[in-house]
Copies of this chain bind each other. A is one copy, B any other.
Amino acid sequence: MTLVLGIDPGSRITGFGVIRDTGKGCEYVASGCIRTGNGPLYERLQIVYRGVREVIGLYEPVTMGIEQVFMARNADSALKLGQARGAAIVACAEAGLEIAEYTATQVKQAIVGSGAADKQQVMMMVMHLLKLKEKPQIDASDALGIAICHAHTRQSLTPHGLLGARRRGGRLRL
């Protein structure tokens, strides 16, 4: 039994979803979103960092999946998304979680069975797979979808991205 975290970062709202991978299927544990408000940049990034650390502290997941970004709309939104993504990934890395990236196509394929599925189809399948009676908030739903994809994939494959890489020491040059 493994607790799996999915994160869908954004500059305004970061969705998260926690599921339990029982080996026979996935069970819903928690989901929600971290809203960063209208404060200065450092404060919004700190809210993402601390929010993710809080979720990890509450539910103690051991592994995290996050969506890979291939085509950001433009340079300005890519910078903002990157900053939130950096804060969320560092929060998971500092908490010692295993981290993997999945493309949007991989997530849709794992949830709906088709890489061409839309957001509503993903949400319906997330609700079905996790036996949810109410629609989750859209970013929370996306995060649950990533968590399910990660649970399905991590047992069988080395996902495209981060998983399985050996930790190497950083170099600090003074």
Contact = CB atoms under 8 A, between A and B. Distances in A.
Given A46-B94, A69-B79, 19 more contacts: A32-B174, A34-B173, A40-B99, A41-B162, A42-B90, A42-B99, A46-B90, A46-B93, A50-B170, A54-B172, A72-B75, A73-B75, A74-B75, A75-B78, A81-B82, A83-B83, A86-B87, A86-B90, A137-B173
A132 interface: no
Given A46-B93, A89-B83, A162-B42, A170 B37 contact: yes
Contacts of A92: 42
Nearest to A164: B40
Nearest to A88: B86
A80 interface: yes
Interface in A141-174: 161-162, 165, 167-168, 170-174
A121 to B, nearest CB: 25
B72 A34 contact: no
A140 to B, nearest CB: 9
Interface in A40-83: 40-43, 45-51, 54-55, 69, 71-83
Given A51-B172, A84-B86, A42 B79 contact: no
